[in-house]
Structure 1
Amino acid sequence: MPYVNIKVTKEGGPDGNGPSANQQAALIAGVSALLQDVLGKDPSSTFVVIDQIPVESWGIGGLPVLDYRQQAQS
């Protein structure tokens, strides 16, 4: 019974508030299909959870992600 937890920042998507319902459904279907193809896992027993994290709560390289992006553009 696989359990997959996808964490993404709550940004982007059609309304700017994270992945749309259609995008989330595509992630769930894609991950389930991948586990079936690679590991032979039954999609009906595969759990996929998508957590949308506020961008202010995400960091990379010791910096908040927004600061990291600004630094990377410089």
Structure 2
Amino acid sequence: MPFVNVKVTGGNEAPTIEQKKQIIDGITQLLVTVLNKNPATTMVIIDEVEMDNWGVAGKTTTERRLEAKK
């Protein structure tokens, strides 16, 4: 039973419901195609992480995005 956990930034950049459906379907189909897994037992979880709770190189994603706009 495959379990895939996808983490994405939330807030203004969160994927739409339609995008989430596409992610779940795409990952499921990939595991069916590549690993011959049963789609009925393939689990895909999408976690939305607020940008202030996601950090890279000592800075939050919010800070990094603001710096990129300068």
User: Do they superpose with TM above 0.5?
Assistant: yes
Q: How many residue pairs were aligned? A: 70
TM-score with structure 2 setting the length: 0.85
User: What displacement does 1:18 show?
Assistant: 1.4
User: Which moves more between the two structures, 17-26 or 28-37?
Assistant: 17-26
1:1-74 to 2 correspondences below 5 Å: 1-11=1-11, 16=12, 18-72=14-68
Q: What are the superposed Cα offsets for residues 1-60 of structure 1, whole Å, 9 maximum, x if unpaired?
A: 00001110103xxxx361111110000000001111111111111000101111111111
TM-score with structure 1 setting the length: 0.81
SS in 2 for 1:19: coil
Identity of aligned residues (%): 37
User: What displacement does 1:69 show?
Assistant: 3.0
Superposition RMSD in Å: 1.7
Contact preservation (8 Å) 1:61, 1:68: no
